Amino acid sequence: MNNLDKESVIGVSALLVHAANIDEIYSDHEKDLILDFIKSYLTNVNADEILKKAENIEKNSNQLLSYTNIIKKNSMDIKKDIIEHLWKVIISDNSVDQYESNLMRRICGLIYFPDKECAEIKLKLQNS
């Protein structure tokens, strides 16, 4: 499962930062969730450094496609894990707005991830 390289983790983390920022509130809790994602794929790295890089990429890029191309090349398991992390970040403030839902729909479309499965992940996380 653990086969994202450092550059891919940085790119996906930038996407997680983007998801966190969509509602214009980037909380410490969201940062912690993104750090958990980084640590789940990379050991022996400074996760805070990776997060800073991801935040800079997100700040300087409005191109969602560059992030999703990284994800698209990976297995369904990794896609599922990334979608799960995205939802964790989005629902961490207990509300999902239309922009966040729209972002998830767009990402799923771009990485060829089934909408139904995306909805199931969201529901499972909201109920846990």
Q: What is the pLDDT along the chain (128 residues), one digit of tens a residue?
A: 458 999 999 999 999 999 999 888 899 999 999 999 999 999 999 999 999 999 999 988 777 667 888 899 999 999 999 999 999 999 998 889 999 999 999 999 999 999 999 999 999 999 98
Question: Hey, what are 20's tokens?
Answer: 């966190």
Q: Model's pTM, two decimal places?
A: 0.92
CATH number of the domain located at residue range(s) 6-126 in this protein:
1.10.3680.10
Residue extents of the structural domains in the chain: 6-126
